[in-house]
Amino acid sequence: MRPSSLPTSNSRRKAPKSIAPWATTTSAKMFPPSTSGTKNTSVKIQWQTSKKNTNFSTDSLLKSRETCGMKSNKSRWIMLLVGAVLIYLIVPPFFFLIKTSFVSGDTLFQTPTFGLENYRKVLSSASTIQILVNTLLFAIGSSLLGLLIGGTLAWIVERTNTPLRKLVYVAVFLHFATPGILRVIGWILLLGPKSGYINVLIRKLFSLPQTSGPLNIFSLPGMIMIEGLMWASLVFLLMAAPLRSMDPALEEAAAISGAGIMKTLRKITLPLALPSILSVLLLAFVRCLEAFEVPALIGVPAGVHVFTTKIWLEIKRDVFPDYGVASAYSVFALTLVGIGLYLYGRATRASYKFFTITGKGYRPRVTDLGKWRFLTMILICVLPLFDLLPLLMLAWSSFLPYYAEPSVEALSRLTLNNYLNTLGSFRTITSVK
């Protein structure tokens, strides 16, 4: 007798349903199910369901392809529209600028001629080389100063444990809320060589016999200082993100090996952030080449001319504006800007080789400054005063009939007549309209 628990020969020969050849979609045509019997009917239903699922997946794939095609067509049309708008805004002014630079004749009695006379005047002028040198020194110095201040603030805020460091963001956004020309006027009131409040205060504190100085904002260093302070906030915002997202693995390894804060900053942090630093520096350099407020209000009275102010002075001549010479100077200025933009593009493309921003879920390493964190706290509290003091000086002067340095005696002369005259002026009403 064979035990009942042992499998029979029929059970051994029976194949499971899961391996039936017609149970899969690819083999349905090769092994069609039989139409006889109850078991074959269930297999037929399974085969038909698999066929329907195949049709459904094919339809979904076609619909997804059509949707992607529609989206790509929409994005292509949007890019074409944006490109057409940019061409309309950029190409015509640039074309007329180039054309005007070849047209000479600056008076009503001269017949305009087409040639290289304007370029000859510019290149033969003794002041052109000095203007080029002033422009490069102004742009390089201002961008370096802005990078030094803004980059230092970004490192303190994002990578150290300095108290109150997040308040820098409030000061930065307040900086963008005020026009730059107002801050320039405020700095003139503070650092004017004769009546600037800081110079007057220094002469009183040190009992200096001179009637002007010791600081003079109307100079090339004064221009560089003011322009660099104006760009520090933008540099801070541009440098904060790379420093915030930098991989801390190498810095942690340096700390474990015994490297100090300054050595880690010099050997690890700065090399990792170098592509971002170079890109921000070139962007600030290009923007400083195009600056006008500081060169016009500080450089022109000091006799320090750059390309932007020279173009403006050629247009604002006493009798007839010389648009031809102004356009020739503009072409040289645009050449410098183009070189800067080309270098910026090269630096931006090269920065992709040094990815400091990744998809990892980590927090940046915070450097413990120890007792030095209170010094950096004082630093981040003092630097916003460079934006606040010019505005306070400007507000003080607006309540006086004539300028006077802040004092108890000057408080008695405060008045609202300046505001009343301004609000009642016809020019104010038309400018608001």
Taking only the tens of pLDDT, the chain with its 433 residues reads 444 444 444 444 444 444 444 444 444 444 454 444 444 444 444 545 444 444 445 556 556 656 655 666 777 888 888 888 888 888 888 888 888 888 876 554 556 678 888 888 888 888 899 999 999 999 999 999 999 999 999 988 888 888 888 888 888 888 888 888 999 999 999 998 888 899 989 998 888 888 887 889 999 999 999 999 999 999 999 988 888 877 677 777 777 877 777 787 777 777 878 888 888 898 899 899 989 999 999 999 999 999 999 999 988 876 778 888 888 899 988 888 888 888 878 777 765 554 444 445 556 667 778 888 888 888 888 888 888 899 999 999 999 888 888 888 888 888 888 888 888 777 777 777 6
**104 by DSSP, 3-state: which?**
strand
With contact defined as beta carbons under 8 Å apart, do 252 and 364 qualify?
no
Distance CA 260, CA 236 (A): 24
Helix (H) or strand (E) holding 330: helix 323-351
Distance CA 206, CA 227 (A): 29
Distance CA 337, CA 340 (A): 5
Q: Which residues pair with 114 in a beta bridge?
A: 103
Distance CA 276, CA 270 (A): 10
Give the per-residue pLDDT at 175. Answer: 86
Q: Residue 300 burial by CB count (10 A; 0-12/13-18/19+): exposed, middle or buried? A: middle
Distance CA 415, CA 399 (A): 5
**What Å distances lie between residue 183 and 48, 173, 354, 390, CA to CA?**
79, 15, 37, 6
First to last CA, the chain: 113
List domains and CATH numbers for the chain.
129-392 (1.10.3720.10)
Give the per-residue pLDDT at 109. Answer: 53
- Nearest-5° angle of CA 237, CA 239, CA 240? 65
**33 by DSSP, 3-state: which?**
coil
- Which residue, among 238, 248, 250, 305, has the nearest Cα to 275 in the 3D structure? 238
With contact defined as beta carbons under 8 Å apart, do 149 and 235 qualify?
yes
Residue 145, both tokens: 């100063």
Give the per-residue pLDDT at 18. Answer: 45
Q: Which residues pair with 276 in a beta bridge?
A: none
Give the per-residue pLDDT at 58. Answer: 59
Give the per-residue pLDDT at 243. Answer: 82
pTM of the model: 0.75
Give the per-residue pLDDT at 386. Answer: 86
Give the per-residue pLDDT at 318. Answer: 66
Residue type, 82: V
Give the per-residue pLDDT at 59. Answer: 57
Angle separating helix axes 127-159 and 307-315, nearest 10 degrees: 130
Helix (H) or strand (E) holding 201: helix 197-205
Distance CA 280, CA 149 (A): 13
Residue type, 7: P
